[in-house]
Amino acid sequence: MRRLIFALGLTLIAAQPGHTAENVTTFTLENGLEAVVLEDHRAPVVVHMLWYKAGSADEEPGMSGIAHFLEHLLFKATDTLESGEFSDIVSANGGSDNAFTSWDYTGYFQRVAADRLELMMKMEADRMRNIRLTEEDIVTERDVILEERNQRTDSEPGALFSEQRSAAQYLHHPYGTPIIGWRHEMEQLSIEDALDFYKKYYAPNAAVLVVAGDVDPTEVEALAKKHYGPLEPTPDLPERVRLSEPPQLAERRIMYEDARVSQPYVIRTYMAPERDAGDQKTAAALTMLAEILGGSAATSVFGKALQQDTQKAVYTSAFYSGLSYDDTNFGVVIVPGPRLSLQEAEDEMDAVIAKFMEDGVDPVQLERVKTQVRASEIYGNDDVGARAREYGASLTSGLTVQDVQEWPELLEEVTEQDILDAAKMVFDRKKAVTGWYQKPSTQEVTQ
């Protein structure tokens, strides 16, 4: 499926005018609001996104879930809008809207006809500073997020496993706390907690505006000045410093057993550096390493060794996302076939990694991966929503517009030796958590 999509992307792009860095305009308002405009005139639509440099990792300890809770509460009343009216107006104008919360950011977006941009800005600027919460909103919406946790996490063994692994991976840093929050803390979140977070972070100097689509950058800037310009910044906004990890000195393992598990697997995550502003080379090499090791069942190192050649595994993967404000993870997954135990699957995983470290990178495979990455980039450029998300996520994760624009070239420049060096650096078992996900087995897990 994925390769098919890439192919489609290539076809589309060939038929369209180029969408390159030239289409990107930036400006910053006096109150600190950063803005990025991505021009794309193929269709008369606009994506209006407002990103806050505040995610769950910016929560005060003990307040887990407040960033996501507030995301829900932003759809309540403001001075000029009734509760729920925001989305109703977007719908009535033929658009759609939504929001999302991550460790590093919270974002709000609408996709509407291009001539409705000013209305979106007016409403988004309004709720940045003028939300009016009631005690009833808190009670009602807290039940909603608790039910959301119920459904997405507590009823999902894979999600619980992931939470426990993250908590084991990070000894101190808040990436070890789930975005949705620990239930016992969510239950205590109050209107004061929500307003504290809101007043601090929902401010122009902690926000990034991304407007993408059929717009004129000069007009966007004029509209932004008109609607976002008058908003007061948060004075003395603190530098964004989270609790940082102490040295990780000992390999960790975690055995999750749940009767609801249908397909056992072994997963290992290693601590890994993220993309830093002006310093993305290691992240580029790790991105390529993930593709080389686990990108494709047919041609990747894991796929060839454990799926194609031997059919020992039914799925293999390696993953890494450099878009993160602080240190992130590099992961590998093996889902064994029916004849392999998790121990055997893990042994195979280690053997494949060891052999890869000896053999090095196959230049033919690297060229193939680069072609895929290039296709993916081009396809990404073609999707105006995806481009907007990339800029929003990057600019709220500590990167600059220049970093975003240099990234494809950095991927292109990665050498076989870069990948091997990155692998040597990242494959440090002392900084890794190996997880087994399985049905309860009376004794075997203790071995």
Catalytic annotation, residues: 71
Sign of CA dihedral 257, 258, 262, 268: negative
Q: Which is nearer to a copy of itself, 297 or 445 (CB)?
A: 445
- Neighbour count for residue 442 (Cβ, 10 Å): 6
Cβ 349 vs Cβ 340: under 8 Å = no
Name the one residue in this structure whose structure tokens are 């993309």: 275
Name the one residue in this structure whose structure tokens are 């076989």: 416
Q: SS3 for 261?
A: coil
CA distances (Å), 264 to each of 121, 241, 301, 315, 434, in order? 47, 37, 21, 11, 13
Q: How far is the CB of 430 from a copy of itself (least distance, A)?
A: 8
Cα distance between residue 171 and residue 245, in whole Å: 6
Q: What is the DSSP letter of 131?
A: B
Nearest by Cα to 276 from 324, 319, 329: 324
Q: Which is nearer to a copy of itself, 132 or 253 (CB)?
A: 253
Nearest by Cα to 259 from 446, 439, 445: 439
Cα distance between residue 294 and residue 153, in whole Å: 26
Cα distance between residue 252 and residue 433, in whole Å: 5
DSSP 136-199: HHHHHHHHHHHHHHIIIIIT-HHHHHHHHHHHHH-SSSGGGS-TT--HHHHTT--HHHHHHHHH
Burial (0-12, 13-18, 19+ Cβ within 10 Å), 185: middle
Cβ 81 vs Cβ 96: under 8 Å = no
Nearest by Cα to 384 from 48, 27, 117, 4: 48
Name the one residue in this structure whose structure tokens are 């269709």: 43
- Neighbour-count burial for 373-407, b at 16+ CB within 10 Å, e otherwise: bebbbbbebbbbbebbbbbbbbbbbbbebebbebb
Q: Which is nearer to a copy of itself, 134 or 343 (CB)?
A: 343
Q: How far is the CB of 65 from a copy of itself (least distance, A)?
A: 11
Q: Which is nearer to a copy of itself, 154 or 383 (CB)?
A: 154
Task: By CB under 8 A, name the binding residues for a copy of itself.
Answer: 61-62, 160-161, 163-165, 167-168, 171-172, 176-177, 182-184, 243-244, 246, 248-257, 343, 346-347, 350, 429-430, 435, 445-447
Name the one residue in this structure whose structure tokens are 């309540």: 76
Q: Which is nearer to a copy of itself, 107 or 435 (CB)?
A: 435
Element (H, E) at 97: strand 96-101
